[in-house]
Amino acid sequence: MKRLKALAPYVLIIILGFFLRAYRYTEFPTITETADEHAWTWLGASIIAEGQPTSWSYFHSYSDGPYVYAKSPLHAPFVRPALDHPPLFSFIPGAFHLLSGAKWSDLPEHSVIRIPMILLGSLAIALFGYWTSLVLEKRWSLFATFLFAVIPTFVFSSRVVVSENLLTIFFLVTAILIEKWENRLRGKTIQAKRQFKKIAVAFILVGVASMLTKISGIVVPATVLAYAVVKKDRYLGLFSVASIIIGALAVFSYAASINLQLFLDIQKEQSIRPIGLSTIYNRFFVKPNIAQKIYYDGWLIVGFFGFIYALIKKELTKNTHFWLFSLLAILSTLGFIGLSAGEFTFYGWYSYPLFPFFALCITLVLKEAYAKKYLLTAMLWILLLPGIETALSYASRDHFLTKPVIRLIYLIGFIPLLLSVTPLKKYARYTQLVLFACIICFGFVSVLAVDRTAVDAVSEHFIKGITE
């Protein structure tokens, strides 16, 4: 009975997260934002149906040989064999596409292929809740899980049919394995040896699966390797190296069974994107996209600053392997984005694996603000204000805030600070909680009110504002 009571709030959060992800799940991100959702679906469906990887692609390497297979329902042709990516993730939307009764080459319905993404997103919430419950105080574990379930950016991103949503699952499983590893039985008992072998095999399998999901999946075992180096754990280092080697062999074996030279040509073509030194800045501060359209709500910026704060807070990385792995996961993912994503490539999904760890960093910052740090509260209020404007715009299809009202909304964030230096200081904490509750509620409004019409209205207003 006690166990059920302990699980109940997590279950309710998972249900809430599932509802938010499922509500109007085809409306936003809009189905025209990225054709990658079609590409992944066709890749998996063609392998299942005909044993030949086929999808759309614009890479020039396909035009140098007899690889253009047929005209696709999109602007780009079908190519066969399609070797842009390893195939593991593609089987998920591909299977749902075929189970709907469609032929593999039919145009996928987003109402079908986004269903498994919603399920993956709900699974991610469950894994995140379990992982944080192993380490954090229960109330903060629940709060972090709640944030991961309801923040609009996290909700919308988990609907998109891209492989990074599966990589997020593998990152969370790896984080749980790190906790199991650090708390494993020691010694030479039979039980300890069995546990050692199980965890070792799990590390290797997850690492290999990550690399078979996408080339960028190497960040998962690479993060484990970085963690092992910092902790001076040779066994964990061996597991991560083994998973990288086996994963690379698996990817190359898959490519070699089809057309290794074409695979290498495609990867070479992908590697020549014009990278630059402002990639990370552009991604988080200039164009914080979910897919290809800008979505401002401020939470990613708070997460980014929370990450920097966690790096500075030495007691976190020194004494807690939980935080050390989280920070290394963010660093490795940001490093991969900076080295490969392209300075002007603004596809939002490259950042998806960061989101569970950003949810932790956001929780850390809010926890600090909750400790009667009202100036920090005011700063967080200012950073999160775009979420209020977005919610109101989605709900009303218009921008009705006058300049005096906008200025007043800015000043509201300073009420707890002002109260704290008056005889009414006992109310400062209550007003602080009300402010953060308002931000969360406006997030709900964004998720529940958004549709294609609202997105177009907000986009037109934004474009008009920056061009005038």
Q: Which of 66, 83, 113 is the last residue of a domain?
A: 113
Helix (H, G, I), strand (E, B) or coil at 313: coil
Tell me the average pLDDT of the chain.
89
pLDDT, position 215: 93
Task: Give Cα 30 distance to the centre of its chain.
Answer: 18
Amino acid letter for position 27: E
Q: How many residues does the chain have?
A: 468
Q: Give a yes or no: residue 203 inside a domain.
A: no
- Write the CA distances from 444 to 17, 184, 297, integer angstroms: 11, 40, 12
- The torsion defined by the Cα of 383, 389, 390 and 391, in degrees rounded to 10, comes to 110
Answer yes or no: is pLDDT of 316 > 80.
Answer: no
Q: Give a yes or no: residue 149 inside a domain.
A: no
Q: Which of 57, 86, 113 is the last residue of a domain?
A: 113
Q: Give a yes or no: residue 126 inside a domain.
A: no
Answer yes or no: is pLDDT of 445 > 50.
Answer: yes
**Side-by-side strand order, sheet with 55-56:** 55-56, 78-79, 68-70
DSSP labels, 81-127:
S--SS-STTTHHHHHHHHHTT--TTSPPPHHHHTHHHHHHHHHHHHH
Q: Give a yes or no: residue 410 inside a domain.
A: yes
Q: Give a yes or no: residue 260 inside a domain.
A: no
Amino acid letter for position 96: F
- pLDDT tens per residue, range 56-105: 988 888 876 677 766 667 777 889 899 999 999 999 999 999 999 999 99
Burial class of residue 114 (count of CB atoms within 10 Å of its CB; 0-12, 13-18, 19+):
buried
- pLDDT tens per residue, range 398-428: 666 778 888 998 999 999 999 998 888 888 8
Helix (H, G, I), strand (E, B) or coil at 68: strand
- Number of folded domains that form the chain: 2
Give me the percent of the chain exceeding a pLDDT of 90. 63
Q: Which of 89, 113, 137 is the last residue of a domain?
A: 113
Q: Give a yes or no: residue 415 inside a domain.
A: yes
Least confident range from 100-104, 128-132, 143-147, 297-301: namely: 297-301
Better pLDDT: 306 or 349: 306
pLDDT, position 246: 97
**Residue recorded with tokens 């195939």:** 87
Q: Examine residue 29 and say whether the peptide bond preceding it is cis (omega within 30 degrees of 0).
A: yes
Answer yes or no: is pLDDT of 28 > 90.
Answer: no
- The torsion defined by the Cα of 218, 220, 311 and 120, in degrees rounded to 10, comes to 120
**Residue recorded with tokens 């593999």:** 104
Q: Give a yes or no: residue 383 inside a domain.
A: yes
Which residues in 208-228 are b (16+ Cβ under 10 Å) and which e?
bbbbbbbbbbbbbbbbbbbbb
pLDDT, position 466: 47
Q: Give a yes or no: residue 462 inside a domain.
A: yes
Contacts 24+ apart (CB under 8 A), 220-229: 220/167, 220/170, 220/171, 220/174, 221/247, 222/332, 223/171, 223/174, 223/325, 223/328, 223/329, 223/332, 224/174, 224/178, 226/328, 226/331, 226/332, 227/178, 227/321, 227/324, 227/325, 227/328
**CB-CB contact of 247 with 208 (8 Å):** yes
Q: State which residues form the domain around 427.
A: 372-468
CA–CA separation, 324 vs 346, rounded Å?
28
